[in-house]
Chains A and B, each alone.
Chain A
Amino acid sequence: MTHSLTLDQSASQFGAVPLDDVALAAQGDRRAFERIYRSHVDRVFSVCARMVGDRARAEELTQDVFVRAWDKLATFRGESQFSTWLHRLAVNVILNDREAEGRRRARHDDGVEDMDTISYGDVRALPVPGLSLDLERAIATLPPGARKVFVLHDVEGYTHEEIGSMLGVTSGGCKAQLHRARMLLRRMLTQ
């Protein structure tokens, strides 16, 4: 199964960012940075919300991402699209978020962070049994490890090699985890 969405294509959904705004913001122009925020906030929030599975925490993380971006703006050298750079920064902030991790563990107290131990039986009961579940809600119900890989690969367009590097796993382990995530989703969506 191939995924047709590349990262740059995914990141391009941010919309065009005038390079002048990036340069101005790097020099301390907060209004330019606000314009960048306005054009990117939905994209950043989307990846936060889907990876964390908690909208309130995702809003806090989105703020963290932009504060971090402001601080790191001068390190952006234009070697990739600005949107790609910001997206990767957002993913790093999310993966380093221990608070969200703690909440996820509390909600999924099955200890399924070990990516090789997830089985199809690990899916939690749906919040409202019998209610039709769309893909968005099904993703939020995935165990954390499976959700990370699925969102990064199928929604955000990262390659297995990139995801493996981010998560510290092999690309083979990442592929296996992705297959499991898809199977879990299929099961939830067809219940």
Chain B
Amino acid sequence: MTRDHLDHDVADESHRASCAECTAVWTELEGISAQAARLPLLTPSRDLWAGIETRLARHGMTDLSASVAPRPAASRWLARPAVRLAVAASLLVAVSAGITWTYAKSSAPQASATGRSIEELGGNRAAVTTVVQPASLDETVATMDHEIAALRLLLDERRERLDPRTVSVLEANMQLIDKAIAESKAALEADPSSRFLAAQYARAYASKITLLRDVATIPAGT
């Protein structure tokens, strides 16, 4: 029996009915298929959890193990990545806007400034007001720069495992965002009372962090 003969006829049920040789081959194929379905599970050569946990920590996820109890639907809603990012972005905007407000009018109460910013931007007041502790513009920017530096470090570690085209697009976008940050900062320094400029400044920072976080979580090779 030739290979071509097998190729065309073994899978043909009507042919097999009259061909003992093809029927025998078919039976062997069924055996291979059955054996494949029973293959045992494989085990990695090492514990992979430590590497996973490091990556989770590096892309900014908070470990709530110590305080977690079953929470209502609203908490589950907050657990969604998109919502977390939105809240994080609101936090950044609120912090920066609040700080800018303080920066411009140092006598104004910070909580009030922060609250107003959240309302203007549709943020989650409950989430923000319990977390945001505005200090100074320099401290807030330093905090965001710290996170950006950590994410940058992770990106550098993963760079070789990402598709070069992804890295290229990322770098191009990063340059645009850095330019926006620099321009917003310069404009804000020229007009420190502008809430619009403060929001622009914060949005630019939030965009950078969001972009870096996204890159930190995409699979290798993407």
Chain A interface bracket (under 10, 10 to 19, 20 to 34, 35 or more): 35 or more
When C-beta atoms are compared, the residue in chain A nearest to B26 turns out to be A1
Q: Are A46 and B219 in contact (CB under 8 A)?
A: no
Find B42's partner among A13, A33, A46, A186 (CB 8 Å cutoff).
Answer: A46
Whether B39 contacts A13 by the Cβ 8 Å rule is no
A126 interface residue, CB < 8 Å from B? no
A157 at the interface (CB under 8 A from B): yes
Contact at B41–A63, with CB atoms within 8 Å? no
Known A29-B65, A155-B39; contact A1-B79, beta-carbon cutoff 8 A: no
Question: Which residues 9-67 of B sit at the A interface, judged by CB distance below 8 A?
Answer: 10-11, 25-26, 28-30, 32-37, 39, 41-46, 48-49, 51-53, 55-56, 59, 61-65
Q: Are A189 and B52 in contact (CB under 8 A)?
A: no
Min CB–CB distance B48 → chain A (angstroms): 5
Residues in B whose Cβ lies below 8 Å from that of A183: 6-7, 10, 29
Q: What residues of chain B lie closer than 8 Å to A49, measured between beta carbons?
A: 42
- Number of B residues whose C-beta is below 8 Å from A? 51
For B62, what are the chain A residues with a Cβ–Cβ distance below 8 Å? 28
A41 within 8 A of B: yes
A interface: dominant SS: helix
The stretch that binds A, out of B69-77, B129-137, B197-205, is B69-77
- Please measure, in the bound complex, the distance between the C-alpha atom of A27 and the C-alpha atom of B72, giving whole angstroms: 11
A158 within 8 A of B: no
State whether A42 touches B42 (Cβ < 8 A).
yes
The reply to whether the CB of B163 lies closer than 8 angstroms to some CB of chain A is: yes
Tell me if A45 is interfacial: C-beta within 8 Å of chain B. Answer: yes
Report which residue of B25, B35, B42, B59 has the largest number of chain A beta carbons within 10 angstroms of its beta carbon: B42
In the complex with contacts A27-B75, A27-B79, A74-B80, A63-B48 CB distance below 8 A: yes
Give a binary string over A63-75; 1 marks a CB under 8 Å from any B CB, 0 the rest: 1111110111111
Contacts of A157 in B (CB 8 A): 37
A interface residues with partner B (beta carbon < 8 Å): 1, 3-5, 13, 20, 23-24, 26-34, 37-38, 41-43, 45-46, 49-50, 55, 58-68, 70-75, 93, 96-101, 120, 135-136, 139, 150, 154-155, 157, 179-180, 182-183, 185-186, 189-190
